[in-house]
């Protein structure tokens, strides 16, 4: 038998291939109303912010977040949150660094949807230097220790420079005194 007499037949067997299925996402756009020494836009508005979502309705102190993210707002006080496709009703808690948290209850979220949440009707209450969501004597003591100092001073405490102007002044002091005794989350409708 010569090699020319051989005929080769190729057969292909179908094999399963995986096609990536895009995960549906939910986008939440949050606008914050912050107290700063300068107007928007400015670097002073870019602050660390914790965003927490709880399956609603929920009760503060007896809930566990479904999603908790540490983000930074942009120079206009905006945050763009993208999470795996949530579907249902959630309570949203937003806490900028140095301020009390705000809570929006019963936020309806859907996969592949954008939800705008405006927290710019009620200004965030500054004065929470230690981040415990209360403005109390501990925050006041920390402010007193840094009062009059600038960002060039080694004893400057940026956590009590609430207006983010690089110095601890009467404006920062008044934020603590004005909000002393308040605790978050503050309900926002």
Confidence of residue 7 (pLDDT cuts 50, 70, 90): very low
Spatial distance between the Cα atoms of 5 and 51, rounded to a whole number of angstroms: 74
What is the pLDDT at residue 23?
79
Spatial distance between the Cα atoms of 157 and 169, rounded to a whole number of angstroms: 12
Helices (H), the chain: 137-146, 170-179
Confidence of residue 117 (pLDDT cuts 50, 70, 90): very high
Instruction: Tell whether the model's pLDDT for residue 12 goes beyond 60.
Output: no
What is the pLDDT at residue 84?
86
Mean pLDDT over 109-137 rounds to 93
Least confident of 30-34, 39-43, 71-75, 118-122: 118-122
Residue-wise pLDDT for 84-107, tens only, equals 889 999 999 999 999 999 999 999
Residue-wise pLDDT for 28-68, tens only, equals 999 999 988 888 899 999 999 999 999 988 888 889 999 99
Instruction: Tell whether the model's pLDDT for residue 6 goes beyond 50.
Output: no
HEC states along 60-113? CCCCCCCEEEEEECCCCCEEEEEEECCCEEEEEEEEECEECCEEEEEEEECCCE
What is the pLDDT at residue 56?
86
Look up tokens 């010569």; give the residue. Answer: 2
What is the pLDDT at residue 14?
57
Helices then strands (H, E): number in the chain?
Answer: 2, 10
Residue-wise pLDDT for 142-182, tens only, equals 999 999 999 999 999 999 999 999 999 999 999 999 999 99
Q: Phi/psi at 156 (nearest 5 deg)?
A: -65, 135
């Amino acid at each position: 038998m010569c090699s020319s007499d051989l005929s080769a037949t190729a057969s292909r067997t179908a094999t399963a291939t995986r096609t990536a299925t895009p995960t549906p996402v939910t986008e939440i756009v949050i606008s914050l109303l912050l107290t700063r020494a300068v107007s928007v836009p400015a670097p002073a508005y870019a602050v660390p912010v914790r965003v927490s979502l709880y399956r609603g309705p929920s009760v503060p102190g007896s809930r566990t977040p479904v999603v908790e993210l540490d983000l930074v707002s942009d120079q206009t006080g905006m945050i763009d949150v993208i999470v795996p496709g949530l579907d249902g009703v959630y309570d949203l808690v937003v806490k900028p660094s140095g301020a009390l948290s705000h809570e929006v209850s019963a936020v309806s979220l859907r996969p592949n949807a954008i939800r705008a949440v405006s927290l710019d009707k009620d200004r965030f209450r500054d004065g929470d230097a230690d981040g415990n969501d209360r403005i109390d004597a501990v925050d006041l003591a920390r402010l007193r220790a840094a009062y009059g100092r600038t960002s060039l001073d080694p004893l400057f405490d940026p956590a009590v420079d609430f207006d983010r102007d690089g110095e601890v002044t009467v404006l920062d002091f008044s934020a603590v005194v004005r909000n002393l005794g308040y605790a978050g989350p503050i309900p926002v409708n």
